[in-house]
Chain A
């Protein structure tokens, strides 16, 4: 007779062997190198670092290679690795005022000190397949692109700050909670929300942000400033009482300026949404800023429109793609036992129903 599948162990081994062959693909072709990934697929690397919450281009490239380009799988690999790393402490807050920008644009001022810097962007490209790339062997770019603006660029929101037209965001000396070390408890303060948003799934945030623009929690945003560039990271060694630079990271920062007509709590003024993401990721940074602004309705005394993007519990609980993918996909695991008990129940209820019909 048929006996329920035995030998799960062997089956798993075979499946994994097959997978690793598939991952490698045709062996007549060279195996893709990590450097190629980090140099030529750097936007993928950015996303994996941001949502993996680990800034390491080499490891992110490895994860992308190992996951055959499935970015959520790659993010998962990085997260699982990250969680095992010992913690020496927390770095000082990065100073994005001192960013060396490769890109800096403002949608609110035509010109401003430091100017608009387009930088490497897909904006304004015509989305036409470039068939030249099929045959591309070597790069023909003759001119080296130089970053000439190493001076410090003043911040757009500062101009509004000076005129008291935008809500001031005060520095708090409070040590922010660490989402990766403490369970999420609600209500969350803004620093915790931002932590959660910056590692949230890009697609989820994009959808949430988009919904605010279409009227579900509308917040009238302008991109006050979007900048991409390099900042230094400092770490304080308390035993020695000194601060040292431990490295530099590339980040994308977006500050939106949002219309606000005032409430019982706050006078009419502009308000802001904030997005900060590892690597180059404008879509995510802008989305994050819109959602951050939507989530501030309570602090600002705005009306709750019951929009999904205003709902802290909804946004924070469902934005993590590693949690989401695990749980959604877990329904492919065996559920024989539960299904069996449902079978028995439905049979019983049907039997009773048939009896009472007669």
Chain B
């Protein structure tokens, strides 16, 4: 009540006052989330249920990632936020601003100098290093969801390590299309145990999940799940011996920096529909210019 009284009659932005705790969430909530994170790290690839809170941004817009970030942040951290690989996409800007206001921490575009990176749909091109945390926003954490809509069923399938359905799906893809027709959110197996959804990153990024030096955390707010890939963890993308996994990107080079190895966005440059390609990772591109 008291809090509302104060808020209600001041004109300034309530987030800029000491109305909210450091990084928005109260300490008890952060503790609950940290416990979930620790459990997730202890069981790589396992989806840990947690009591997701309503955040001041909508579900599906990064609330899971934001809650994990809020629970990991210390005042000394430097935060980078990207969406689609870029620091200046609208939702990345909005989340970065949120933490600038509520946690008063330093932010950066530089992949190398960030201690925590929150991302949607990409892994930075520049290799991550020990001590860094990469936090993914996850819309649908369950890799088996589109094969089996029921959570009660999929949890049993994970418990029994019953992943036949997934292999059948991939096999059917090959018989129908000659390829596995999953281009993003490509399923992986973590430490030879749990099949996991790496969030909707392009499968181009999948190899970076493996043996990564950084801690990778995944937060799904609406679905109330947290999971993790600890540093130096074995991650394989599901495939078949005769149809090995292949990462994929546009066969072109960046028209700004000339990179031929980074993931590219296709852009339409005129009304005729002519195309050009630029790095999706804006910080990587910037540094190479």
| A83 sits at the interface (CB 8 A) | yes
User: Bound complex: CA of A181 vs CA of B94, how far in Å?
Assistant: 26
Name which residue of chain B comes closest to A330, CB basis.
Answer: B60
Query: A-B pairs with CB below 8 Å: how many?
Result: 157
Q: Is the CB of B4 within 8 A of A340?
A: no
Nearest residue (CB) in A for B92 is A8
Q: Does A146 contact B (CB under 8 A)?
A: no
Tell whether, in the assembled complex, residue A326 and residue B59 are in contact, meaning their CB atoms are under 8 Å apart.
yes
B 54-96 binary contact with A (CB < 8 Å = 1; else 0): 1110111101000000000000000000011110111111100
- In the assembled complex, which residues on chain A have CB atoms less than 8 Å from the CB atom of B172? none
Q: Which single member of A3, A81, A330 contacts B4 (CB below 8 Å)? A: A81
Cβ of A333 < 8 Å from any Cβ of B?
yes
Chain B residues 174-233 with CB under 8 Å of chain A are: 177-179, 181, 183-185, 200-204, 222, 224
B222 cross-chain contacts in A, Cβ below 8 A: 323, 326-327
Which residue of B93, B263, B267 contacts A9 across the interface (Cβ within 8 Å)?
A: B93
Closest chain-B Cβ to A286's Cβ sits at a distance in Å of 27
Name B85's contact: one of A337, A345, A349 (CB within 8 Å).
A337
Expressed in whole angstroms, the minimum distance between the Cβ of B78 and any Cβ of chain A is 19
A326 touches B184 (CB 8 A): no
Q: Which of B160-168, B235-243, B247-255 contacts its partner?
A: B247-255
B53, A7: Cβ atoms closer than 8 Å: no
The answer, yes or no, to whether A152 is at the interface (CB within 8 Å) is no
**A344 in the interface, Cβ–Cβ < 8 Å?**
yes
How many residues from B make CB contacts under 8 Å with A? 68
| Cβ B90 vs Cβ A329 within 8 A | no
* Selected contact of A341 from candidates B24, B59, B204, CB within 8 Å: B204
Interface flag for B51 (CB, 8 Å): yes
**Which residues of chain A (138-193) have a CB below 8 Å from chain B?**
180-187
Contacts of B204 in A (CB 8 A): 341
Taking the nearest CB of chain B, how far is it from the CB of A314, in angstroms? 9
When chains A and B are docked, how far (Å) is the Cα of A335 from the Cα of B60?
Answer: 13
**At the interface, yes or no: B126 with Cβ under 8 Å from chain A?**
no
Decide: A62 and B54 in contact? CB cutoff 8 A. Answer: no
Known: A4-B278, A85-B3. A187 touches B152 (CB 8 A): yes
One of B177, B269, B278 near A349 (C-beta < 8 A): B177
Give Cα A7 to B87, complex, Å.
10
Q: Is the CB of B152 within 8 A of A326?
A: no
Name the A residues within 8 Å of B139 (CB-CB): 327, 330
Q: Are the C-beta atoms of B61 and A330 separated by less than 8 Å?
A: yes
B202 touches A76 (CB 8 A): no
* Range, interface on chain A: 35 or more
The answer to whether B91 touches A342 (Cβ under 8 A) is no
Complex contact A313–B84 (CB within 8 A): no
A334 at the interface (CB under 8 A from B): yes
- Residues of A near B89 (CB, < 8 A) are 8, 334
Q: Please determine whether A82 and B54 come into contact, CB atoms closer than 8 angstroms.
A: yes
A336 close to B (CB within 8 Å): yes
Check B51 against A181 for contact (C-beta < 8 Å): yes
Q: How distant is A262 from chain B, measured CB to nearest CB, in Å? A: 28
For residue A18, CB closer than 8 A to chain B, the reply is no
CB-CB under 8 A from A334, the residues of chain B are 83-84, 89-91
**Is A79 interfacial (CB 8 A cutoff)?**
yes
Which residues of B sit under 8 angstroms from A338, Cβ to Cβ? 121, 183-185, 200, 202
Provide 20 A-B residue pairs closer than 8 Å at the C-beta atoms, listed in order of the A residue.
Answer: A3-B278, A9-B97, A12-B90, A80-B55, A183-B224, A186-B151, A187-B152, A313-B151, A322-B58, A323-B59, A330-B60, A333-B61, A334-B91, A335-B200, A337-B201, A341-B202, A343-B266, A344-B248, A349-B179, A349-B181
Q: Which 10 A-B pairs have the closest CB atoms?
A: A326-B59, A330-B60, A326-B58, A341-B183, A327-B60, A341-B202, A183-B49, A183-B224, A326-B60, A8-B90
